Amino acid sequence: MDDPYLVARQAADALRSRFGIPGFDVALVLGSGWAQAADGLGEPIDECPLDELPGFSAPVVAGHGGVLRLVGTTSGSIAAIFTGRTHLYEGRGVAPVVHGVRTAAAAGATTVVLTNGCGGISHPPGEPVLIADHINLTGATPLVGPRFVDLTAVYDPALRALAREVDPSLADGVYCQFHGPSYETPAEVAMARAIGGTLVGMSTALEAIAAREAGLRVLGISLVTNAAAGIAAEPLSHAEVVEAGLAAQPRLRGLLAGLLERL
């Protein structure tokens, strides 16, 4: 990708002219298991395939959509819902992974809600978990050069409090981002636990870093779709991922609806 910040501004400009809006306020990125929960949220404004915007490509994972949907919220803001994301394991590099976040910032957004489906170390499948902090185990970063971004409070404490107004029983988690696409070995999960991780996944941390660089407020919410490897007796399957996502829909929907009313 050319200068990724420039491409993000181009994508934001393309959005503005395509939708005839000055920008949007909130970006919501939907991970595995979240698409249905976000269906019909807010007042629909417009949508377009992501790959028709500069710098975006079509998604590769079944169950990850590839649409940017604009909706109006009851608080009067405009939310942009990204129904899919690019993952590091696709091999296109880090810039495409964080392009949505940078585009949101260039389009005037102040807040990004990053959701994902992940493996649970100390949370059961079907549980949504507020990300309190992350550990970036990818060996990658979206930042190049002397960009010494402070990551003391990546996941905004005020936004986390807001999420708990909506759903007071939300647990806190520490999300470990692995490169993927293979799931972890049991030894890797044991390592993640030993260093303080409670969730394992393949997204979110790199996007959160780029979001903080751009000055966005970040909220991260994981849906535990499976026990991490070695935590439960059975091996992992994609079917299990899909099933746990379905069972959690009502709770996720309530959470997203409540958040959109407040952001």
Residue 202 sits in the site that holds ligand 8IG (CB under 6 A): yes
Rounded to the nearest angstrom, the gap between the alpha carbon of residue 186 and the centroid of all alpha carbons in its chain is 25
Residue 34 interacts with ligand 8IG (CB under 6 A): yes or no: no
Q: Nearest-CB residue to ligand 8IG?
A: 119
Please identify, among the stretches 13-21, 105-113, 115-123, 210-218, the one whose residues bind ligand 8IG according to the rule CB under 6 A: 115-123
63 binds ligand 8IG (CB under 6 A): no
Residues 6+ apart with CB under 8 A from 4: 55, 95, 98, 99, 102, 142
- From the list 184, 188, 207, 213, the catalytic residue is 184
Question: Binding of ligand 8IG at residue 118 (CB under 6 A)?
Answer: yes
- Choose the stretch contacting ligand 8IG; rule: CB under 6 A; options: 49-57, 66-74, 116-124, 134-142: 116-124
- E-strand ranges in the chain read 26-29, 43-49, 67-72, 78-82, 111-120, 128-136, 171-177, 199-201, 217-227
Helices marked H in 86-156 — which ranges? 99-106
Q: Give the tokens for residue 32.
A: 């595995």
By CB under 6 A, residue 32 contacts ligand 8IG: yes
> Which of residues 42, 59, 96, 119 is near ligand 8IG by CB under 6 A?
119
**Does 197 contact ligand 8IG by CB under 6 A?**
no
- Name the H helices within 117-174: 157-166
CB of 105 to ligand 8IG, least distance (A): 26
Q: Is 201 in the site for ligand 8IG (CB under 6 A)?
A: yes
| Span from 84-92, 165-173, 196-204, 251-259 in contact with ligand 8IG (CB under 6 A) | 196-204
Three-class SS of residue 131? strand
Active-site residue, 184 included: yes
Question: Cα separation of 204 and 117, whole Å?
Answer: 10
Cβ-based neighbours of 34, under 8 Å, separated by 6 or more: 115, 116, 117, 223, 245, 252, 256
* Cis peptide preceding 4, ω within 30 of 0: no
Member of 79, 210, 228, 257 binding ligand 8IG (CB under 6 A): 228
Residue 162 vs 232, nearer CB to ligand 8IG: 232
Which residues of the chain form contacts with ligand 8IG (CB under 6 A)?
32, 117-119, 178, 180, 183-184, 200-202, 225-226, 228, 236, 241
Residues marked active site are found at 184
